[in-house]
A = this chain, B = another copy of it.
């Protein structure tokens, strides 16, 4: 009986996946292709598609099939058990939310987003505060429907990184914060400063060629994917058809390049998931932290390394001879690895980035446990920036209003970025241990050994392991900030002393 029920469930999941992938495609098209005047029809299309996807995901037959399969768990193999566990989680997340709540939340998201845009433009937190307050209340209500009234923030963390919770992250981040302080101090106290003014007048067409050459060499499969241009770089689609984007600025070629490399890391993870299981947990990413570990590993450990630039500096100079005339190799490498005091998270370097996240986690935690009110947010934000980064944001636009995430209630998302950085460094040293020639391969433009290793250790497993289990399985060690701290010291202290 279980076999039949499993096949029926599988067909349902396939249909949901197909519908979601269509929603994804029209979302991609909106950000990449949509004519400026056509937003009205796209809104209709998105709303209709959301409704079709929702109806498919709360199909009561799924509940019946899951219940049958759960009652006969002993007949299932391990893979099937994972599929069923995650399908149950997804089903409940969709089905337990009252329709009235879903539409109320959608309205709030839209209003709240526009309030955030206005507030940021005017650097006026108070106009946005009531929306943020409502988002916080809605988030608690959401957690309540999922039976998590007692620990709503845990519920949101689990949404992004299954298996993680507030306590685990607190412990990891405290250790990270302590370890980062002396590194950041040493760099900030250093007299050495990168000159990023050298990157002026790099024509877009050549930038595009250069980054396509690199992302192809890294291993992105352009036969099942493409790269386009959008205002904010992202990676959409899935391994069957991976759509990533970057953006171009003639005076900032590193932005387009490293955005493309970052998204390539995401894309290669998607492309490494088992293609015949994309519709279920075996073919889906282990979480946002795991996803971020892939983008960051390629972006930072690999493509900001001396070995990588030994290979690509000559190519860069060939494509942009005039622009780089008179720029030494050391100056170039320092500019690529520039660290600076920046109040804006998305513009910050990989050293200070982690502290931007620690601050956001600290704030979210306090908001959820009642130790911080929305009104106190700007003050607390500024105090934490002063304490951890010695930065005084000039206004709230540069401070608490800088990120879009909270405007649609995406609490519990920020930690993923930093968890990804930790796992990336941990994977890096584990790979290096097993494949000591890695950096010599990079010098020759060969990244295949690392990609194969990641395929085997991370990609192929889908959601089989959660973040903690994945760290342990892939690296033999518990998830910890120590590899990240080691890596940052090894990479940055020599540059800044």
Contacts and interface: CB of A to CB of B under 8 A. Distances in A.
Interface of A: 14-15, 18-19, 21-22, 25-26, 29, 33-38, 40-42, 44-45, 47-49, 52, 221-226, 238, 240-241
A113 B241 CA distance: 25
Nearest to A205: B205
Most chain B CB atoms below 10 A, which of A15, A37, A38? A38
Nearest to A228: B33
Contact of A35 (B15, B33, B223, B238): B223
17 contacts: A14-B44, A19-B48, A21-B41, A22-B22, A22-B48, A25-B29, A26-B26, A34-B241, A35-B224, A35-B226, A37-B221, A38-B224, A38-B225, A40-B240, A41-B238, A41-B241, A42-B241
A240 B48 CA distance: 16
Nearest to A23: B22
A44 B18 contact: yes
Contacts of A15: 48
A224 B29 contact: no
Nearest to A241: B38
B18 A45 contact: yes
Nearest to A52: B52
Contacts of A34: 241
Given A18-B45, A25-B26, A25-B45, A37 B223 contact: yes
Nearest to A34: B241
A137 to B, nearest CB: 32
A300 to B, nearest CB: 27
A40 B279 CA distance: 14
A47 B21 CA distance: 13
